[in-house]
Amino acid sequence: MHPSALVRGGALIALLLAPAALAATTDPPAREGDFVVRDFKFGSGETLPELRLHYLTFGTLRRDARGHATNAVLVLHGTGGSGRQFLAPQFANELYPSGQPLDTTKYFVILPDGIGHGRSSRPRDGLHMKFPHYDYDDMVAAQHLLLVDHLGVDHLRLVMGTSMGGMQTWVWGETYPDFMDALMPLACLPVPIVGRNRLWRSMIVDAIESDPTWKDGEYASEPMDGLRTAADILLIAGSAPQFMQKALDTRVGVDRYLGDRLRFLLPELDANDLIYQLDASRHYDPSARLDSIRAPLLHVNSGDDFINPPELGIAEREIREVHHSPNAHFLLIPSSEQTHGHGTHTWAALWKDRLQQLLDTSPPR
């Protein structure tokens, strides 16, 4: 199976989106840059002398008569991903062209690589397990510095994110409640990561750290037994039941799919990076401060999401706690042959009309 077919398969946890499978379809292409933060202090008390933050942008930043940014949109990626995942045709072709919800002739779209991800500073760059133990609060604080100190963005038209980026969207809404006009978290929940969601993450970390070739992070080559188990678990966590039942309709087809997927994915993984990426969620819990959110908010999940199972009823319960937002709603996209499990967050055709509605009903503040 060709790598592009793997993306269609539905296992779209950002960690499984290898860059080679994604085709940039925007014209003109994205602009890239790096911002170095000196002596960045993490919530753990650790400090990094130079924290590199990589980013992509589309469009041109516009300001009002007072010099305030008016058209900036921040889009945040998921665990193991990068801003480049939003160059995928199923996202970019639906949102960025003229007349679409994030029309890049109208908006200044910012796609950062989070700490520990993409081309931003990561454990694999040399510090390995001595890299500072970042969490989502650190990642959001660094994104804020990137916007204000480097890009000159003092206000956002929209913050949206997928999976981990969706969770960070909740953090943005609580930490900087007046910084944005609207919020759109996708494929996430505004509660601590516990239960099965914590269990599969712990299983991955345990598999890597139990591999004798891991050597406390100072491995000469990647601990492939641990990473093989990690990839297997991630494949299930990101699976799309209805699509897989139809597309993988023979034992031979299933076995071929698994083999092709692993050959494609394993070279993209780094054991230390993966441990840190999964551990970054350890302090996440926006539930106690949901009433601090002021911006209109649309929360979107899908009915076939293994990671955020709708039968728990958490999203419906928690959206009622967003008391001070003038317009807070939850949308559950029913499971179908068109949904993609957890990765429904990247298939914008399924929810872009609601994004447009959110923008239309949340005028600049």
Q: What is the pLDDT of residues 57-106, one digit of tens each?
A: 999 999 999 999 999 999 999 999 999 999 999 999 999 999 999 999 99
Question: Reduced to 3 states, what is the DSSP secondary structure of residue 48?
Answer: strand
Average pLDDT, the chain: 92
Q: Would the CA dihedral through 192, 45, 289, 154 be positive or negative?
A: negative
Is 18's pLDDT higher than 60? no
- Residue 296 near residue 181, CB atoms below 8 Å: yes
Classify residue 218: in a domain, yes or no. no
pLDDT band per the 50, 70, 90 thresholds, residue 44: very high
4-18, 37-51, 158-172, 223-237: range with lowest mean pLDDT: 4-18
Q: What is the CATH number of the domain that holds 39?
A: 3.40.50.1820
Domain assignment of residue 245, yes or no? no
Report how far residue 68's alpha carbon sits from residue 153's, in angstroms, rounded to the nearest whole number.
8
Residue 262 is assigned to a structural domain of this protein: no
**DSSP secondary-structure letter at 269?**
-
pLDDT at residue 3 tops 50 = no
Residue 200 belongs to a domain? no
Residue pLDDT, tens place only, 195-218? 999 999 999 999 999 999 999 999
Say if residue 6 is exposed, middle or buried (CB neighbours under 10 Å; 0-12, 13-18, 19+).
buried
Averaged pLDDT for residues 136-140 = 98
Asked if the model's pLDDT at residue 19 lies above 60, the reply is no
Cα dihedral 97, 103, 108, 109 in deg (nearest 10): -70
In terms of residues, how long is the chain? 365
In the chain, pLDDT over 90 holds for what percent of residues? 90
The rounded radius of gyration (Å) of the Cα atoms in the chain is: 19
Residue 347 confidence class, pLDDT cut points 50, 70, 90 = very high
What pLDDT was estimated at residue 27?
63
Residue 39 backbone class (left: φ over 0; alpha: ψ -120 to 50; beta: rest): left
pLDDT band at 28 (very low <50, low <70, confident <90, very high): low
Give me the phi and psi of 185, to 5 degrees please. -85, 135
Least trusted range by pLDDT, from 13-17, 128-132, 227-231, 313-317 = 13-17
Per-residue confidence (pLDDT) for residue 25, from 0 to 100: 52
Q: What is the pLDDT of residues 281-305, one digit of tens each?
A: 999 999 999 999 999 999 999 999 9
Q: pLDDT grade, residue 29 (50/70/90)? A: confident
Judged by phi (left if over 0) then psi (alpha if -120 to 50, else beta), residue 132 lies in: beta
**Does any domain span residue 283?**
yes
Q: Given this model, what pLDDT does residue 364 score?
A: 87
Q: Taking a C-beta distance cutoff of 8 angstroms, is the pair 185, 299 a contact? A: yes
Residue 212 forms part of a structural domain = no
Per cent of the chain over pLDDT 70 is: 92
The two three-digit tokens of residue 241, written as one number:
């039941």
Torsion of CA 151, 114, 74, 320, to 10 degrees: -140
Residue 123 has pLDDT above 80, yes or no: yes
* Selected residue with higher pLDDT from 357 and 243: 357
Q: Is residue 263 part of a domain?
A: no
pTM: 0.93
Q: How far apart are CA 18 and CA 55, in angstroms?
A: 17
The answer to whether the beta carbons of residues 235 and 266 sit under 8 Å apart is no
Residue 336: band (very low, low, confident or very high) from pLDDT cuts 50, 70, 90: very high
**Structural tokens at position 143:** 């994104």
- The domain containing residue 52 runs over which residues? 3-191+279-360
What mean pLDDT is predicted for residues 324-348? 95
Measured over all CA atoms, what is the biggest interatomic distance in the chain, rounded to whole angstroms? 64
Domain count, the chain: 1
pLDDT digits (tens, 9 = 90+) for 182-193: 999 999 999 999
